[in-house]
Structure 1
Amino acid sequence: MAMPLHSTVAELAPAPARPRRILISSDTYPPDVNGAAVFTHRLATGLAARGNEVHVICQSAEGPATADVVDGVIVHRLRSAPLLVHPTMRVTVPTRLDRLMRAIDPDVLHTQGHFVVGRAAIAAARRRGTPIVATNHFMPDNLFQFGHIPERLRVKAGRLAWRDFSRIFSRADHITTPTPLAAKLLSDQGFTREVESVSCGIDLTRFHPHTEPQVWARKMFGLPDRPTVLFVGRLDEEKRLDELVRALPFVLNDTEAQVALVGQGNQRSELERLAKRIGVGDRVFFLGFVPDENMPQAFAAADAFAMPGVAELQSIATLEAMASGLPVVAANAMALPHLVNGNGFLFEPGDVLSMARHLATILTDEELRARFGRASRALALTHDHQSSLARFEQIYDEVTL
């Protein structure tokens, strides 16, 4: 006797929904240390922690191609070669990515750039019909020193670089950049597509103010217990760290200050020579590479944060300093003015005396320093990385409909 149809149908459970499968492409990824690499790593691991299946295509750190699961992310590293114009970065050997794209079968590609990996991934996604989200971290200024572009040719080189960027990114379905000012920059350079600003975001649970005395954190980095100005980032030309070093003698007229520089770069030896030549060699400390897990302690060691760079599309380091409750003294350039509002001072790039005056004012006024620190934290609260991750998930759903 046949079983009633409804009794077998009732036993069938609905098929489980597959998590989003996101492919992120980037020409820079840890162990590279720069803003784009940090953002891409935090984006990938953050999305994975939220239940997505995340793949990253990037350059190999050592040469041969590899594949591994790192921090919940499936990382596909492509064969690479040393980048001759940069002391630490490598470049992927140009390749078609159709086979890898077919094997991963992503719902969406989220590219972080338009160089070798980015353009190969965009091309493969277009051939396969995979939706593309593109985030821009690029400014020609970041490349000029490594390409040894003479000053007189930089305007023309910049125009050519922006034209190449527009040609590649115009193929994306949705385009983002970290700040409204960074979006305006693209428009000013002739990019006609709509660009949405989505903050890089920061982990507000890891970066927060410390109430205990700073001496413990300073000891951790071998710093004397003095008023401390901190910089975090690459020690490269566009960061204009010579201005911070040259400001220090004027700050010392008012307070026994010191500068701590976290990061690596090709300007370190020049900065060391400069500090020694102007008599502050014993007041400028080069802390080198600090692992991400120790960065909250680095911010805890400081009284103020300085960012003299002029090519910042957002500045994750400045946001982390703000979340840690530090006052900010920053160049009035690119996106930095968006981060300074009642929590510090802006100075015109190149105005060393103005920077020194602002730093001295903060370091010598405990009440002002505390008020600026609270304002920094309040501003940072609007850049919670969970909100940024949620918006990216919405964008992925929108482009895959």
Structure 2
Amino acid sequence: MRIGIDATCWWNRRGFGRFTRQLITAILADSRGHEIYLFIDREPAPEMIRPGVRVIRVETSATVTSAAVAEGRRKLSDMLRFQRATSAHPLDVLYFPAVYSWFPTRGGAPTVITFHDAIAEHYSDLVFPDRVGRFFWNLKTWLARRTAAGFTTVSEAAREEIVRYLKIPRGKIEVVLEAADPIFARVLDPARLNEMRTRLALPPDDRLLVYVGGLAPHKNLLRLAQAFAKAAADPALDDLCLVFVGDPNGDGFHSNHEELKALIDGDARLKGRVHFTGFVPDEDLVSLYSAAHVVAMPALSEGFGLPAAEAIACGTPVIATAGGAVAEVVGAAGVFFDPLDVDDMAQAIVRTATDAALMDQLRRASLIRAAQLSWPAAAAATLDVLERFGRVR
């Protein structure tokens, strides 16, 4: 079978970019003898160059990752170039690892799309800074789900949200769980951990409550800061600081970094105890997860919550929103709270900062759960879906 993959999200630094890189890499490692066609809009990554893979570069006025952002959108002419490129090849199925980069297709090959979540529909006021961006997003997703043969998503929680807000029948959506990149493993070398703290300007001895991800309104970081301020009143937490990891500009997506910064600057309880690192490369991120006392995932909704999978792969427990995708991902390696209840969130922080026996239990559970998630399994599940919907010649 000839499988086309829109690989333009490979270069995105957010979760769906990491998903695209890891999933495609795993598919290329074991493609079951299928011919793979990768459609990209810049120079190919070295990992893409291998036998049995055809890389098709489409010349566009702007790359997808620079054009399809919160306050911008792709040009119709660029989408038509991709449409012509994919229709020029005898594909049996065309796969989009994220609806973010979807474009209308022609030529008859069925399409399969990964919807990572329905956050943009569930919390549209928090995701889009203006009505124009919301209109074009809704138009794109409406066209995508009308024309696709099948869908995947990354958790059971995401599937339920997609069924409710996008009205895609549950039976048409397959769940393909993500995993951490294999580089995420516990770092024990004190020198490496100290070097990371120095590079990121973090206190050398404090325990770290770490958040990793976008600094966007639906990530619920204002309540996390408020909860930390409440928890910080406990003398047992005098050595705990809060670390926000992520691009303050949102990598082109909607960000409320300035509002978060103003809240922190205006609260005397947080003075000197909250740190913003900006974007952190993987080499330091592995060390940061390993050094963290706990990782916080307070979002109102997540499709999967890849930082949680990365944290538990480093043996670090997670505190997170109850009943959502992150709770599904980390299982017994987490402590959960009501994301709308600052007091409940604060109690989770205090509990994990003061209960040594609980933390030992969570650390053991972290490594057990992380071992159950793998990209080869995700690739195999995705190929099963593509084979089911692809044309048989």
TM-score range, shorter chain: 0.7 to 0.9
Larger radius of gyration: 1
Mean alpha-carbon deviation: is it higher for 274-283 or for 162-171?
Answer: 162-171
Aligned to 1:245: 225
User: Could you list the per-position Cα deviations for residues 309-335 of structure 1 after superposition, in whole angstroms to 9, with x for gaps in the alignment?
Assistant: 112011111111121111111112532
The 5-angstrom pairing of residues 109-148 of structure 1 reads 109-114=94-99, 117-120=101-104, 123-124=105-106, 128-139=107-118, 140=120, 141=122, 144-145=125-126, 147-148=128-129
Aligned to 2:52: none
**What's the CA shift for 1:361?**
1.6
**What's the CA shift for 1:257?**
0.7
Q: Does 1:33 align with 2:13?
A: yes
In 1, are the aligned partners of 2:117 and 2:158 still within 8 Å (CA)?
no
In 1, are the aligned partners of 2:158 and 2:303 still within 8 Å (CA)?
yes
In 1, are the aligned partners of 2:10 and 2:17 still within 8 Å (CA)?
yes
Q: Distance in 2 between matches of 1:258 and 1:311?
A: 24
Q: 1:291 to 1:76 in 2, by over 3 A?
A: farther
In 2, are the aligned partners of 1:340 and 1:346 still within 8 Å (CA)?
no
User: Could you list the per-position Cα deviations for residues 148-169 of structure 1 after superposition, in whole angstroms to 9, with x for gaps in the alignment?
Assistant: 358xxxxxx79x9778635522
**What's the CA shift for 1:143?**
5.1
Q: Distance in 2 between matches of 1:186 and 1:394?
A: 21
Q: Does 1:171 align with 2:147?
A: yes
Aligned to 1:16: none
User: Could you list the per-position Cα deviations for residues 114-145 of structure 1 after superposition, in whole angstroms to 9, with x for gaps in the alignment?
Assistant: 45x4132xx22xxx222322211242256534
Aligned to 1:9: none
Greater percentage in helix:
2
Q: Distance in 2 between matches of 1:176 and 1:297?
A: 32
Aligned to 1:3: none
1:196 corresponds, among 167, 171, 174, to 174
Q: Does 1:208 align with 2:161?
A: no
User: Could you list the per-position Cα deviations for residues 372-392 of structure 1 after superposition, in whole angstroms to 9, with x for gaps in the alignment?
Assistant: 011122122221111111222
With normalisation by structure 1, the TM-score equals: 0.79
Give secondary structure in 2 for the equivalent of 1:346. strand
In 2, are the aligned partners of 1:113 and 1:138 still within 8 Å (CA)?
no
Q: 1:293 to 1:220 in 2, by over 3 A?
A: same
With normalisation by structure 2, the TM-score equals: 0.80
Q: Distance in 2 between matches of 1:114 and 1:384?
A: 22
Q: Does 1:79 align with 2:61?
A: yes
2:328 corresponds, among 335, 338, 342, to 338
In 2, are the aligned partners of 1:26 and 1:118 still within 8 Å (CA)?
no
Task: Calculate the aligned-residue CA RMSD, in Å.
Answer: 3.1
Q: Distance in 1 between matches of 2:379 and 2:371?
A: 15
**What's the CA shift for 1:220?**
4.2
Q: 1:173 to 1:293 in 2, by over 3 A?
A: farther
Instruction: Mark the runs of 5 or more structure 2 residues left unpaired by the alignment.
Output: 50-54
Q: Give the AA of the match of 2:242.
A: V
Q: Does 1:367 align with 2:348?
A: no
The 5-angstrom pairing of residues 2-401 of structure 1 reads 21-25=2-6, 28-30=9-11, 32-50=12-30, 54-57=36-39, 66-72=42-48, 74=55, 76=57, 78-80=60-62, 86=70, 91-94=74-77, 95-96=79-80, 97-114=82-99, 117-120=101-104, 123-124=105-106, 128-139=107-118, 140=120, 141=122, 144-145=125-126, 147-148=128-129, 165=141, 167-189=143-165, 190-192=167-169, 193-203=171-181, 205-213=182-190, 215-224=194-203, 225-252=205-232, 253=234, 254-255=236-237, 256-264=239-247, 265=250, 266-279=255-268, 280-332=270-322, 334-400=324-390, 401=392
**What's the CA shift for 1:174?**
2.6
User: Could you list the per-position Cα deviations for residues 331-389 of structure 1 after superposition, in whole angstroms to 9, with x for gaps in the alignment?
Assistant: 12532231343322111112122212211221223332121011122122221111111
**What's the CA shift for 1:26?**
6.3
Which protein has greater RCO, CA pairs closer than 8 Å, 6+ apart? 2
Q: 1:328 to 1:246 in 2, by over 3 A?
A: same
Q: Percent identity?
A: 24
User: Could you list the per-position Cα deviations for residues 279-303 of structure 1 after superposition, in whole angstroms to 9, with x for gaps in the alignment?
Assistant: 2141111111112343212211211
In 2, are the aligned partners of 1:67 and 1:75 still within 8 Å (CA)?
no
User: Could you list the per-position Cα deviations for residues 48-100 of structure 1 after superposition, in whole angstroms to 9, with x for gaps in the alignment?
Assistant: 33357644446x5xxxxx4545432636353338659737x763544323431
Give secondary structure in 1 for the equivalent of 2:351. helix
In 1, are the aligned partners of 2:309 and 2:330 still within 8 Å (CA)?
no
Q: Distance in 1 between matches of 2:383 and 2:115?
A: 17
In 2, are the aligned partners of 1:183 and 1:195 still within 8 Å (CA)?
yes
Q: Distance in 2 between matches of 1:145 and 1:328?
A: 24
**What's the CA shift for 1:221?**
2.4
